[in-house]
Amino acid sequence: MRQLIESVPNISEGRDQAVISELLASLERIPKVAVLDVHVDPDHHRSVFTIVGEPEAMGMALFGLVQQAQQLINISQHHGEHPRIGAVDVVPWIPLQGVTMDDCVRYANQLGARIGQELEIPVFLYEEAGKVRSREKLEMIRRGGLAALDGRMKTEHEWKPDYGPPTIHPTAGAIAVGSRFFLIAFNIVLQSDDLVLANNIAKTIRTSSGGLSAVKAIGVSLISRQLVQVSMNLTDYRETSMRLAYEAVNREARRFDVEILESEIVGLIPRAAWDEPLWQDLKLRSIQSDPIIESRLKQSSVS
């Protein structure tokens, strides 16, 4: 069986199309790697690329992406609604075909070591690749933003990066590299501009507050639309599906006489997490192509 890995690097740029195009070009010129999806969000000031490929080629592509972003993005001048710690904020390795999670842990370490040594960006390993329990979760690495991470690196021994220097890179910041199961990024837009409400709903439904299983959630302002959003990561769709998450947000919103305007999927999802009625039942924002990763993969150059 051919070995294939998925990665969903998150880039701290969602407004300058020229920069986004250059970053995409750095991925597309690597053989045996395919870009399956690009999600650009100006309010989040963030782009999410979904790419698949063979392990060695993916290592080359992801390193090249981080290197290119280091030259094009200055994180010290970045302002967006989504939490982030670096020009390339996070790079997960996800086993797709003929590859184990242990393999992905090894690849994450290899990439992290190269980024730390050659680009001098501090690297924090997370999820299955994490080596320090207190920072295995991505939200703990991002806690308080880049300035807070810088402070922890300077004062707490356990926050020495896994690879790279113990100081924030002046333009690229830091980066989280890890390995994990499929994650569904799922956002629900409310017919409201009340960020306190969105944050309260997020707190109620997320796992860390005793809400739904395998759900991370925050409230986000969509300034360009004068609306708010409950932004979620469903870390295991087998435990909490998009439908269950939507119903929980809807139930909480209606307690305050607020309706859901729409929802959206960021990136792609496995076929096992999808059924056709979701388009209408979840008021999903229309997209031009199939959101199923298996379908996109079949149409790609690496299928």
Cite the active site residues.
82
CA dihedral 191, 230, 147, 177 (to 10 degrees): -140
SS3 99: coil
The span from the CA of 267 to the CA of 112, in Å, is: 23
3-state SS of the chain: helix, strand, coil percent to 5? 40, 25, 35
Among 233, 230, 200, CA closest to 215: 233
- End-to-end CA distance of the chain: give it in Å, rounded: 12
Report the distance separating Cα 303 and Cα 297, nearest Å: 6
Calculated CA dihedral for residues 283, 274, 142, 132, nearest 10 degrees: 160
CA distances to 82, 246, 251 from 210, in Å: 23, 17, 16
The sign of the dihedral angle between the CA atoms of 123, 126, 129, 133 is: positive
